[in-house]
Structures are given as C-alpha cells and as structure tokens.
Amino acid sequence: MSVISKKIRNSARGQECQVRIPGVCNGNNETVILAHVGKGSGMGQKCDDIHATYACSACHDVIDGRVRIGDPRINRLYAYDAMVRTQKLLLEQELIKVAK
C-alpha cells in the first residue's frame, strides 16, 4: 500500500526548507516542495509521501543527487533529520495522525 496524498504534497507551498544544507539552502519559501527522502520499491519509484521533507529547490537538487556538493552520506543525514522535522509539522497540521 502506497501513501500518496495531494494534501501533504500541497502543504509544502510556502513552507520553510527543513533540509537546510549549509552553503546550499537558498532559503526561498517559494521554491519549497515535498521532496521524497527514502528509496522506492524499484527503479524510478518514489517512496511514500510520509517519507519526505519540505525542501527548497537547491537542497532538493543535492539530496536527489542532481547536484554533487559535499559528502553524500552527510547530505543524507540532513535529509533524514529534515524528514523528522517535516513529520512533526504534518502532525501539527493534522495531515498525518498517530493511532492512540
């Protein structure tokens, strides 16, 4: 079962970049999108929308590998930390819920 949500994807508009790679992040909220962090189940497939982060265009290019800056392993850590921050924001916006 894939988790795909138009509401979660649309929620990225105007948000602050959560990846914030030093020297890379453009800080432009107008370029922020929901960037998938994990790997999908096959070549060219994206992971679920809950395994994603709010990322500016510059940070998105780095975590997706289109732009190579710094250590890719460190950039992955930035992305995973950002995913946790984004999940917290999604909980606050009630776009994801945890069963009680």
Query: Catalytic pick from 19, 35, 36, 55?
Result: 36
Residue in 10, 3, 2 with CA at minimum distance from that of residue 93: 10
Note if 36 is an active site residue.
yes
**Cβ neighbours for 84, distance < 8 A, ≥ 6 positions apart:** none
Catalytic residues: 36
